[in-house]
Amino acid sequence: MAELKYISGFGNECASEDPRCPGSLPEGQNNPQVCPYNLYAEQLSGSAFTCPRSTNKRSWLYRILPSVSHKPFESIDEGHVTHNWDEVDPDPNQLRWKPFEIPKASQKKVDFVSGLHTLCGAGDIKSNNGLAIHIFLCNTSMENRCFYNSDGDFLIVPQKGNLLIYTEFGKMLVQPNEICVIQRGMRFSIDVFEETRGYLLEVYGVHFELPDLGPIGANGLANPRDFLIPIAWYEDRQVPGGYTVINKYQGKLFAAKQDVSPFNVVAWHGNYTPYKYNLKNFMVINSVAFDHADPSIFTVLTAKSVRPGVAIADFVIFPPRWGVADKTFRPPYYHRNCMSEFMGLIRGHYEAKQGGFLPGGGSLHSTMTPHGPDADCFEKASKARLAPERIADGTMAFMFESSLSLAVTKWGLKASKCLDENYYKCWEPLKSHFTPNSRNPAEPN
């Protein structure tokens, strides 16, 4: 496959034409009486018309046929996709999952949509407030099928296997250690090349933004120039047996048939697009004297709530970096949090838990549930000689953090058969080091 090309920048006003049809963007207007090449003009709105310019999201698509050209939608089986947060009773315990098992292609072919499994979530789709965390487990490409989400945005984190994603705006190749965002309403189809696994964060009613930098200044964390947007690409393809368009609407799945590929956009312009980002480009901020800065310094993207400084969801990573803090317990501190913390591991070993937390698995520490380094990590870090050291080389852990109290689904607690019933035991060896008669403990040599 030829190397794909992209447009650089986050949230930019962009314009793109498939080079096979030069001049396919109208000049000076959005909706001419007759479009170049006799295309149809269609607007995709990601915000209300009257939103302030800083938050107004829309793109104009110039396509061979408009997306309305389909048969009626009919309800289909949702599989393991759900928005029912009352399936099982609440569980405040620390939860950890072993790597989620990918179905074998030799036993059953499963594509991206049929391989979606809702793990946990909260909120209400109909009022556009909340989120869901899904796991995708698939082994075959989507053939003459596409998917779009009427409920919210998808942030996709592949863990195993490359994703070739066809969108109405063009194609993206997304590999492990990269992420992509497919925003609300955008049709896409995914090709895979092996047994494939990953994580998916869905947010309702809001879009992902770059976090405000405050005193950090103008540069740092995920820089806007490193986000990549696909360039226009189209296929003028008839599908004799019918092309299936799958829609997620109010948490349910629906399917409609049409006669042509939906990826028939010859040109587009606007600021409402899919995009991808390589996590290796994250510019890490860290403490260089003592103590920890809070993990919010590792935020890549945020989906804000109406409360200042409080997110519906943050996407946070723990990338390779230097640890130099003096007189400091360097691993993550013990913590109880008003936020919910779901963690996943793309590769390597997470610094606070060298065993048990594995690539392709996950953990959930719910609102005010205590968590922190296991006993082995505590003992080693408390006695370590504090020289400058590399942390997390060859590793990429991440966190979906939310102000919402997340409910786990029946699949997450039972049907997945991946829940680690012994997770709590990693803290059982912790012992008291209290010295009531000596304020100053012996320092490591």
| Known binding-site residue numbers for homogentisate | 350, 371
β-sheet bridge partners, residue 158: 198
* CA-angle at 171, arms to 166 and 174, nearest 5°: 90
Residue type, 250: Q
Task: Check if 365 is active-site.
Answer: no
- The residues, any chain, with a CB within 8 Å of residue 318's CB and separated by 6 or more, are 295, 298, 350, 351, 392, 395, 396, 397, 398, 399
Binding-site positions = 335, 341, 350, 371
Q: Which runs of consecutive H residues, i.e. helices, occur in 108-175?
A: none
Binding-site positions for Fe cation = 335, 341, 371
Q: Which runs of consecutive H residues, i.e. helices, occur in 259-388?
A: 375-383
* CA-angle at 383, arms to 380 and 384, nearest 5°: 80
List the catalytic residue out of 80, 207, 269, 292. 292
Please give the Cα distance from 204 to 39 (Å, whole number): 32
Please give the Cα distance from 84 to 91 (Å, whole number): 15
Please give the Cα distance from 348 to 360 (Å, whole number): 11
Instruction: Name the 3-class secondary structure at 160.
Output: strand
Active site residues: 292
